[in-house]
Chains A and B, each alone.
Chain A
Amino acid sequence: SQQGEEDPQALSIQEGENATMNCSYKTSINNLQWYRQNSGRGLVHLILIRSNEREKHSGRLRVTLDTSKKSSSLLITASRAADTASYFCATDAVNTGTASKLTFGTGTRLQVTL
């Protein structure tokens, strides 16, 4: 399977704390994206980082990418209860022949408690 792996599988923190999720993948990529999914809902795009970028910020989100290690991390700072969701990384691999053909990681279930 080409599916990436994420760790931890589940993460429980208190509101105000930071949450860090890690993603590892297997193939060379064009870009890596992070998505959020509330239970039973569709996916919401959070951030995209290209293979030639090492770090990207968007609001309370910080994403890093290390292509030599084939890994990425997502940091959510000052977490809120509303951040409770599953988070998935997804890679757009080189040479798939189809733009935007994503392979998703296994996901991290984040629980933020008050």
Chain B
Amino acid sequence: GAVVSQHPSRVICKSGTSVKIECRSLDFQATTMFWYRQFPKQSLMLMATSNEGSKATYEQGVEKDKFLINHASLTLSTLTVTSAHPEDSSFYICSASGLRTGELFFGEGSRLTVL
């Protein structure tokens, strides 16, 4: 099946620094990628929808200046958490949609810990 790779899988950073998380579709072209956030023992909450070559669409309540999303190619989207704070500590998961509607593939997630 299709593979979506996230990197890094774990990152620890100091408060105030910025962290970039990459999401790559390895064997298919992803026209749309989604970024989710998941707190412990909770569900996934959609943060934003990223379309290749255009600006991301953010969900209500998600600060676009805080969570910068870039989808520069059909195989790569990046999420940058700027000026991270401890409350940004979470599990971030991306998913990528191929050309077939409803077919969605998830990355393994990236656990961010902000000290």
Residues of A within 8 A of B (CB): 3, 30-31, 33, 35, 40-45, 48, 88, 92, 98-107, 109
Contact = CB atoms under 8 A, between A and B. Distances in A.
A99 B44 CA distance: 18
Indicate the size class of the contact surface on chain B: 20 to 34
B111 interface: yes
A96 to B, nearest CB: 9
B88 interface: no
| Secondary structure dominating the interface of A | strand
The 10 closest A-B pairs by CB, nearest first: A100-B97, A42-B108, A43-B106, A99-B101, A42-B106, A104-B44, A100-B104, A104-B43, A42-B109, A106-B43
A42 B32 contact: no
Contacts of A3: 43, 45
B32 A100 contact: yes
Q: Which of B46, B91, B97, B102 has the most CB of A within 10 A?
A: B102
A99 B102 contact: yes
A100 B108 contact: no
A8 B45 CA distance: 19
B52 to A, nearest CB: 13
B54 to A, nearest CB: 12
A30 B103 CA distance: 12
A60 B95 CA distance: 26
Contact of A98 (B32, B41, B45): B32
Contacts of B104: 33, 45, 100, 102
Given A31-B102, A42-B93, A42-B109, A101 B43 contact: no
